[in-house]
């Protein structure tokens, strides 16, 4: 299978499928088509499908004339009919991965896409997840869905990998074509084939890592790094303003050091599709291993600082955040023994298998549930004591005690 696929990639005889035609998927589909691969875009939104098939661009990073030409010559088309997955050899999943009301990863779009693909997956197909997600998603979630839904075996009948999207919307210099790709796959053969597929478009701008989890963590690291440093420089901007110090002059001076410093500049705060969200994916996964990501969570308090919260208010927010974090952890412990793998989206009874000491193992599930309720109610009381009321935060905390995933 490996040699056959490598040969077909070199000869541009691979048909590409891209699931999700948003700001990540459409530019990827265009670049694959420009590289000579017949490309089919899949999206559940009929309006996007119609616009692509009409050659109309709706993404800033795509050149209108290029899209129109690719559609005219039949290299690129779009559909909402996932039965056409059977006609593709390579499929990239580029769907959104937002946060749910609990500020936890919402991978429902990834999961539903994988199920849609699985029903039409054929032997010899390459599947790559590009959506930003927590480490472990490709092998713990996508792989079982594809195997059970298709009856095929990963590594033997199809290849599976992860290659994070690194699109910076609006960047005039770095776009899909010239931004290096990181590739991690399940098995060496899959690794070689997927790297060759991206290399056919990007040349030597492909960095191969040992596993999908490493590639998944790479994207989370990139955006968490930016999150923390943006929060740091904005906090310093507030302090320097109060001290009468020109922070821009400070940064220019610090930049003269030829090593150990990367310049970040003050701005309106965190924004975009990924940077404000990705750290939550990491903190959520870290709780599974009993690890508290204190520095990352501290960077998430930047909003309160930039909103002009007083020292007293910041302490209240910090205490509420600690209660919420612990409540999340205990609730995860409870769900590990009371939920199902299908409902939870990850293996259950993992704490017991790994001999982890949890609130549930120490005090039992009912008492642990009581602790979640106590911590949640206290967090709500703390937040309600602030002059700046936020109904969304109240709803978020209160929903902790009833969540099932």
What's the confidence (pLDDT) of residue 84?
97
Distances (CA, A) of 231 to 253, 280, 298, 399, 402: 20, 15, 9, 28, 32
Q: Are 164 and 170 in contact (CB under 8 A)?
A: no
Average pLDDT score over residue span 65-86: 96
Q: What share of the chain in percent tops pLDDT 70?
A: 80
pLDDT tens string 276-303: 566 666 676 776 677 766 656 666 565 5
Report the 10 Å Cβ neighbour count for 38: 19
- The answer to which of 70-74, 95-99, 215-219 has the lowest mean pLDDT is 95-99
pLDDT at 272 over 60: no
- The answer to which of 71-85, 134-148, 177-191, 217-231 has the lowest mean pLDDT is 217-231
Q: Which residue has the higher pLDDT, 141 or 377?
A: 141
pLDDT tens string 376-396: 888 888 877 876 555 555 665
- As separate numbers, helices (DSSP H) first and strands (DSSP E) second, the chain gives 19, 8
Q: What share of the chain in percent tops pLDDT 90?
A: 47
pLDDT at 221 over 60: yes
pLDDT band at 36 (very low <50, low <70, confident <90, very high): very high
Angle between helices 391-398 and 365-384 (to 10 degrees): 170
Q: Which residue has the higher pLDDT, 50 or 324?
A: 50
pLDDT at 275 over 60: no
- How far is it, in rounded angstroms, from Cα 361 to Cα 351? 9
Residues for the chain: how many in total? Answer: 405
Q: Kindly state the DSSP code that residue 105 receives in the 8-state scheme.
A: B
- How far is it, in rounded angstroms, from Cα 92 to Cα 41? 10
What are the backbone dihedrals phi and psi of residue 41, each rounded to the nearest 5 degrees, phi first?
Answer: -95, 140
What's the confidence (pLDDT) of residue 208?
96
pLDDT band at 402 (very low <50, low <70, confident <90, very high): low
Tell me, yes or no, if 154 is annotated catalytic.
no
pLDDT band at 372 (very low <50, low <70, confident <90, very high): confident
- The answer to which of 46-55, 209-218, 293-302 has the lowest mean pLDDT is 293-302
Average pLDDT score over residue span 42-65: 91
pLDDT at 14 over 60: yes
Q: Which residue has the higher pLDDT, 272 or 264?
A: 264
- How far is it, in rounded angstroms, from Cα 381 to Cα 394? 9
- Domains, the chain, in order of start with CATH, read 2-209 (3.40.50.720), 219-402 (no CATH)
Computed over every residue of the chain, the mean pLDDT equals: 84
């Amino acid at each position: 299978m490996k040699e056959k696929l490598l040969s077909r990639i070199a000869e541009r005889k691979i048909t590409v499928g891209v699931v999700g035609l948003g700001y990540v998927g459409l530019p990827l589909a265009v670049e694959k088509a420009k590289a000579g691969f017949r490309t089919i875009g899949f999206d559940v939104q009929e309006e996007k499908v119609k616009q692509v098939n009409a050659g109309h661009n709706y993404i800033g990073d795509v050149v209108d004339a290029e899209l129109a030409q690719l559609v005219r010559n039949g290299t690129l088309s779009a559909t909402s009919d996932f039965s056409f997955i059977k006609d593709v050899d390579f499929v990239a999943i580029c769907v959104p991965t937002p946060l749910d009301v609990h500020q936890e990863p919402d991978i429902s779009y990834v999961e539903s896409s994988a199920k849609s693909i699985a029903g039409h997956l054929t032997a010899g197909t390459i599947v790559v997840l590009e959506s930003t997600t927590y480490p472990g998603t490709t092998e713990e979630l996508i792989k079982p869905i594809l195997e059970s839904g298709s009856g095929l075996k990963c590594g033997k009948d199809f290849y599976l990998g992860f290659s994070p999207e690194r699109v910076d919307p609006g960047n005039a210099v770095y776009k899909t074509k010239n931004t290096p790709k990181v590739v991690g796959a399940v098995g060496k053969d899959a690794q070689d084939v997927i790297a060759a597929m991206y290399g056919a478009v990007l040349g030597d701008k492909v960095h191969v890592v040992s596993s999908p989890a490493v590639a998944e963590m790479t994207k989370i690291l990139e955006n968490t790094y930016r999150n923390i440093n943006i929060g740091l420089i904005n906090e310093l901007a507030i302090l320097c303003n109060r001290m009468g110090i020109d922070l821009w002059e400070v940064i220019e001076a610090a930049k003269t050091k030829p090593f150990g410093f990367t310049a970040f500049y003050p701005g309106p705060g965190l924004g975009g599709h990924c940077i404000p969200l990705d750290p939550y994916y990491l903190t959520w996964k870290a709780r599974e291993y009993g690890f508290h990501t204190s520095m990352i969570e501290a960077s998430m308090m930047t909003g309160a600082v930039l909103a002009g919260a007083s020292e007293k208010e910041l302490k209240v927010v910090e205490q509420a955040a600690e209660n919420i974090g612990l409540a999340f952890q205990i609730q995860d412990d409870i769900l590990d023994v009371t939920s199902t793998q299908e409902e939870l989206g990850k293996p259950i009874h993992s704490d017991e298998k790994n001999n982890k000491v949890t609130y549930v193992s120490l005090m039992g599930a009912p008492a642990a549930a009581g602790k979640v309720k106590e911590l949640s109610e206290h967090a709500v009381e703390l937040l309600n004591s602030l002059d700046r009321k936020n109904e969304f935060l109240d709803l978020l905390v209160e929903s902790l005690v009833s969540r099932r995933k």
